[in-house]
């Protein structure tokens, strides 16, 4: 059963609207920021891993080229 007769009554929260909505608002914003940060962390770290692999491949290719040159 709903405890409020109208939407404006729900927003008013019996006169405590400011405190209730401030609490709930800040809580969910902070939680959302944490989720976003964790998602971007994943992207950042995979990007880093990719760069690392590409760097290794470049080094390997350069070494091979150098070895070929010294043979010739």
Partner 1 sequence: MWKWLHPYAKPERAYQLCHTLLPWFATVAVVSLIIGTVWGLVFAPADYQQGDSFRIIYIHVPSAILSMGAYVAMAIAAAVGMIWQWRTAYMTMIAIAPVGAVMTFIALFTGAAWGKPMWGAWWVWDARLTSELILLFLYLGVMALYAAFDDKLQAGKAAGVMAVVGVVNVPIIHYSVEWWNTLHQGATISKFGKPSIAPEMLWPLLINLLGFAAFVGAISLMRLRNEIVQRELHRPWVADLVANSNARAEKE
Q: Give CA–CA dist 58/68, Å, rounded.
A: 15
Query: In angstroms, how far is the first alpha carbon of the chain from the final one?
Result: 87
Residue given tokens 């010294």 in the structure block: 70
Binding mask 4-43 for partner 1 (x = CB under 8 A): x-----x--xxxx--xx-xxx-xx--xx--xx--xx-xx-
Shortest Å distance, C-beta 4 to partner 1: 7
H or E stretch covering 30: helix 17-71
Name the site residues for partner 1 (rule: CB under 8 A): 1-4, 10, 13-16, 19-20, 22-24, 26-27, 30-31, 34-35, 38-39, 41-42, 44-46, 48-50, 52-53
């Amino acid at each position: 059963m709903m405890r409020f007769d109208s939407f404006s009554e729900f927003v008013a929260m019996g006169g405590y609207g400011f405190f209730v909505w401030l609490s709930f608002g800040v809580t969910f914003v902070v939680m959302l920021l944490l989720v976003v940060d964790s998602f971007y962390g994943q992207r950042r770290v995979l990007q880093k891993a990719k760069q690392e692999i590409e760097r290794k491949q470049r080094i390997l290719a350069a070494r091979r080229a150098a070895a070929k040159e010294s043979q010739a």
